[in-house]
A and B are shown apart, each in its own frame.
Chain A
Amino acid sequence: MDQFLQQMVNGISLGSIYALIALGYTMVYGIIKLINFAHCDVYMIGAYIGFAATTYANLGFFPALIISMASCAVLGIVIEKVAYKPLRNSSRIAVLITAIGVSLLLEYVMMFFVGAEVRSYPKVLSDAAFNFGSVRINMQQIYIVAIAIALMILLQFIVHKTKTGKAMRAVSIDQDAAQLMGIKVDKTISFTFAIGSAFAGAAGVLVGIYYNSIDPLMGFMPGLKAFVAAVFGGIGSIPGAMIGGLTIGVMETMVSGYGNSMYRDAAVFAFLIIILIVKPAGLLGKNTREKV
């Protein structure tokens, strides 16, 4: 039972990171129906910016987090303007291939400049731990979960209470109709990319602190898992991404805790294939009918 609770705690902190990444996937998919493969590399670059801010500029945790989120938001907008905007009217496969290309480009350009070696993050958060019975929770896990929850509440506020959020929801339902109502579609899409990328940047910094190591290819696996989380929760749905992220995080730690940690990646993908077969719309997703 103790081991179960301990795995649960680890799973929730890992799951909050997945949920932060999954939010970016789900928002972008909701608005332009694109799996933004480059999203996981924005997360990687966020981790590097956080690393640079804490190591070279000697900044604390919160300034580093904010710098990383801001730079990633700009990066997200640039990626959208340069690579995806010219393809707004092409086939979806063409855009998907572009997204894969952008992802590889970011990874290898980064590898070219910073080298392929693994770097270790400086200790910016205390690693003091609290024991509840035999369950051990450390400060970093508390920070991760707290920041993830705070950002998600902020996102809910933006999407449901602000004018831009209203525009985002309108564009995701019907782009043409939204344009006719005077909503600036391009601006709204850029804003969506900015928010999603900022969240990925935050996740990058948190992962760097939690696992204490970063490398240019670190984004690939968490990115795919976060995508699985988004699909599980119902792609396009923001609460779905949170539930999905937590589920995948807990599932992964359970598989490594009780089974074989070598199989944890395979377990996540097997889970994805099962979801896609049983309930392709996901937990909270809407079933869309194809029109002829």
Chain B
Amino acid sequence: MRALTKKNLLILLSILLTFGVVEALITVGIINSFYEITIATICINIILAVSLNLVTGFTGQFSLGHAGFMSIGAYVCAIINMHMNSTVGFLVGTLAGAFMAMMVGILVGIPTLRLRGDYLAIATLGMAEIIRVLFLNMEITNGAAGLNGIPRYTNWIWLFTFTAGTIILINNFIKSSHGRACISIREDEIAAESMGINTTKYKVMAFAIGGFFAGIAGALYSSYFYFVKPDLFGFLKSIDILVIVVLGGMGSITGSVIAAVALALISTFLQSFTAVRMIVYAALLVVIMIFRPQGLMGTKEITDLFKFKSGKKEEKIQ
């Protein structure tokens, strides 16, 4: 397989174009600091949603504890960053947070992923609550008051790098044989198992990767918004992420990205009415499930819209 296919070049071009346009808008001043916060939220939410989509959308394991992983990344990065006040410290903190979240994902995943459907949802919810209570009671995390004055190293460049990196890595994972194994678990776990797929291994793998990227998102969050406290990562945060995934379509990375952007814009406009924002979110969730349960994009990706040479050849062979 060649690395420099027409498709890959186009993807690279569109990544650079997106980065260039937003960077230019920031430099010119059309995007002021108020909207920069929206952009940071969008990027963090994209990372969270894409990683949850891997667990819930592609592997079919319903998780309500994604905010728990995010909080681990946020706290680990914040603590390391406060002791190592430099860009290197930020990067070390981000990676350490992500690895920590991944380790917890594996530890929690091995026992709980034997459960199915609703039981798994409640178990992951319980896990996130346990993590929150631990942070609430630990000395190093400063309890309910949280950590203040975390140095800010997250900027647009880092946000974009991590977001694009997450999307590309998770997309590649899904296109690999591991990813196809995960999708087969979603489609039918028993059939997948009888075809010789080690379902536990792939479920834990998806859970660990999801936890890793949620940890990165948490680290970016703590470093961008200066402070973290346990209440930020409660059940509602997990629901926020879930709404993005469901709205975009479970099993579509493009959908998650579009939904993250759309919902961030909606909540920016509804910022002064918090209660209304939550009503809109909740109503959206119910209405989507009743009228369009597959979400905006279903399982389609934006790349499906373009026909590439290799795609045509495959069709002929079939």
A142 an interface residue at 8 Å Cβ cutoff? no
Determine, out of B69-77, B168-176, B253-261, B284-292, the stretch whose residues face the partner at the interface: B284-292
Q: Which of B62, B123, B276 contacts A93 (CB 8 A)?
A: B62
User: A290 CB to closest chain B CB, in angstroms?
Assistant: 7
Mark contacts of A204-244 with chain B using CB atoms, 8 A cut-off: 1 yes-contact digit, 0 otherwise: 00000000000000001000100110010000000000000
Q: Which of A98, A231, A280 contacts B285 (CB 8 A)?
A: A98
B129 touches A280 (CB 8 A): no
Q: A87-B289, A94-B293, A97-B246 are in contact. Are A112 and B276 (CB under 8 A)?
A: yes
Give the 8 A-B CB pairs with smallest separation, nearest first.
A101-B285, A269-B126, A104-B282, A105-B282, A266-B133, A101-B286, A108-B278, A98-B289
Q: Which of B111, B117, B235 contacts A273 (CB 8 A)?
A: B111
For the complex, what is the distance from the CA of A227 to the CA of B285, rounded to whole Å?
A: 22
User: Which residues of chain A (122-168) have a CB below 8 Å from chain B?
Assistant: none
Q: A227-B122, A269-B126 are in contact. Are A277 and B286 (CB under 8 A)?
A: no
B290 touches A86 (CB 8 A): yes
CB-defined contacts of B122 to chain A, threshold 8 Å: 35, 224, 227-228, 231, 272, 276
User: B162 CB to closest chain A CB, in angstroms?
Assistant: 28
Enumerate 14 A-B pairs (CB-CB under 8 Å) in ascending A order.
A87-B290, A90-B289, A98-B289, A101-B282, A104-B282, A108-B278, A111-B275, A112-B275, A116-B275, A224-B125, A263-B137, A273-B126, A276-B112, A276-B123
Q: A97-B246, A97-B289 are in contact. Are A105 and B283 (CB under 8 A)?
A: yes
For the complex, what is the distance from the CA of A260 to the CA of B127, rounded to whole Å?
A: 19
Residues of chain A whose beta carbon lies under 8 Å from any beta carbon of chain B: 33-35, 83, 86-87, 90-98, 100-105, 107-109, 111-112, 116, 220, 224, 227-228, 231, 260, 262-263, 265-266, 269-270, 272-273, 276-277, 280, 290, 292
CB-defined contacts of A227 to chain B, threshold 8 Å: 122
A90 touches B293 (CB 8 A): yes
Closest to A278 in B: B111
B119 an interface residue at 8 Å Cβ cutoff? yes
CB-defined contacts of A91 to chain B, threshold 8 Å: 293
For the complex, what is the distance from the CA of A259 to the CA of B73, rounded to whole Å?
A: 29
User: A255 CB to closest chain B CB, in angstroms?
Assistant: 11
Q: A92-B117, A266-B129, A270-B130 are in contact. Are A104 and B239 (CB under 8 A)?
A: yes
Number of A-B contacts (CB under 8 A): 116
CB-defined contacts of A220 to chain B, threshold 8 Å: 235
Q: A101-B283, A109-B279 are in contact. Are A266 and B123 (CB under 8 A)?
A: no
A280 touches B115 (CB 8 A): yes
B127 touches A269 (CB 8 A): yes
User: Which residues of chain B (262-294) have a CB below 8 Å from chain A?
Assistant: 275-276, 278-279, 281-286, 289-290, 293
For the complex, what is the distance from the CA of A112 to the CA of B284, rounded to whole Å?
A: 17
B286 touches A273 (CB 8 A): no
For the complex, what is the distance from the CA of A83 to the CA of B278, rounded to whole Å?
A: 18
The interface centre, meaning the residue of A35, A97, A276 with most chain B CB atoms within 10 A of its CB, is A97
CB-defined contacts of A105 to chain B, threshold 8 Å: 279, 282-283, 286
CB-defined contacts of A260 to chain B, threshold 8 Å: 137
A92 touches B118 (CB 8 A): yes
B121 an interface residue at 8 Å Cβ cutoff? yes
For the complex, what is the distance from the CA of A260 to the CA of B85, rounded to whole Å?
A: 35
Closest to B284 in A: A101
